[in-house]
Structure 1
Amino acid sequence: MITAPLTAVFVRDLCLFGYHGVLPEENRIGQRFIIDIEIRADLSGAIETDDYLQAVCYGTLCDIASDIVTGKPMGLIEALAGRIADEVLRRLERVEQVLVTVRKPSAPVPYPVSETATTVERQRVHEVAFSLGANLGDREAILAAATDCLSLESGLQLLNVSSLYDSAPWGGIDQPGFVNLCVTGQTTLRPHAVLA
């Protein structure tokens, strides 16, 4: 089965007013913030069926940004962008990746600049577990090599490796006994990429 490609959805130049900044005047007077949000999600169902319920709503992305920008003041636009990105992932399960740029056109710096900005990128992290077993050759060495190979995969972080367990073969076939272990971790990879 082929994994559906991720679809990009953008919101550009969302203008919101907030009270963020390290200077007391910024927290008191406030200023404009310009927000760009880019998400990537598996929207194959929406594309195939033209079903709004399987899409990611632009309005929801704007609502999330508005709730945060018009909410509790923060000192740094990096924190503001990070909070928006985290909330997008928390509220929208279809989203796998999000990129948030916060621009600050009226930054109080003593230089002629058109704006200052920061970009924060987040990826959804999934828990993953592997059940490994070997019953031929140097079984323990084979499992150690398999675990080492998994630990080198980009987008996969191993957190725990179990002890080795001996188990009898199952299914009535005459074969040597198995040595098994379990590996758990986290991944930003999609399911079929993990299987590959």
Structure 2
Amino acid sequence: MDYIHLNDMEFYGYHGVLPEEKKLGQRFRVTVSLAVSLEDAGLTDDLEKTVNYAEVYDLCKMVIEGEPVKLIETAAEIIASGILESYPEKVSGIRVVLVKPDPPIPGHYASVSVDITRGRFE
């Protein structure tokens, strides 16, 4: 299996449970890994034979900068299902890592994140 990775995309959104998250917003980082077959695209140099990662970026941006949800788990699920639905013949699996670098909770830590993997299983 081959992979396309979109690493550390950064967006500003208003997701969260706490009132200040909904009012002030915060940065989010998203890394998406798509399980795809890249051989045909590599041999033909044809964009139609792969996944257009500019479209994947736009979908991630739309989710993070769009309608707020309480949980980053929910945002990650929306991204994963949106990509799987957009590319039913090309993407066989997806991994979404969604990082909240500055959550408004006290303590010393680098960030909080969720890491989900979804795929088509027969």
Q: What TM bracket, shorter-length normalisation? A: over 0.9
Q: Answer yes or no: is 1:36 the counterpart of 2:34.
A: no
Greater helix share, 1 or 2? 2
Q: What is the rounded CA distance, in whole Å, between the counterparts of 2:7 and 2:105 in structure 1? A: 25
**Residue in 1 aligned with 2:68?**
73
Q: What is the rounded CA distance, in whole Å, between the counterparts of 1:60 and 1:85 in structure 2? A: 13
Higher relative contact order (CA 8 A, sep 6+): 2
Q: What is the rounded CA distance, in whole Å, between the counterparts of 2:106 and 2:27 in structure 1? A: 18
Q: What is the rounded CA distance, in whole Å, between the counterparts of 1:121 and 1:83 in structure 2? A: 12
The share of aligned pairs that are identical, in percent, is 32
Cα-Cα RMSD? 1.0
> Which of 31, 37, 46 is the aligned partner of 1:51?
46
Q: What is the rounded CA distance, in whole Å, between the counterparts of 2:14 and 2:80 in structure 1? A: 19
- State the secondary structure of the residue aligned to 2:92: strand
* Uncovered stretches (5+) of structure 2, i.e. residues with no partner: none
Query: How much has 1:38 moved relative to structure 2?
Result: 0.2
Equivalent runs, 1:72-151 vs 2, <5 Å:
72-93=67-88, 94-124=90-120
Tell me which stretches of 4 or more aligned residues in structure 1 moved more than 2 Å.
none
State TM-score, norm by structure 1. Answer: 0.60
**Residue in 2 aligned with 1:22?**
17
| 1:108 counterpart letter in structure 2 | P
Number of residues of Structure 1 aligned to a counterpart in Structure 2 = 121
Q: What is the rounded CA distance, in whole Å, between the counterparts of 1:55 and 1:30 in structure 2? A: 34
Write out per-residue CA displacement over residues 101-145 of structure 1, whole angstroms, 9 at most, x where no aligned residue.
000011112111111000111102xxxxxxxxxxxxxxxxxxxxx
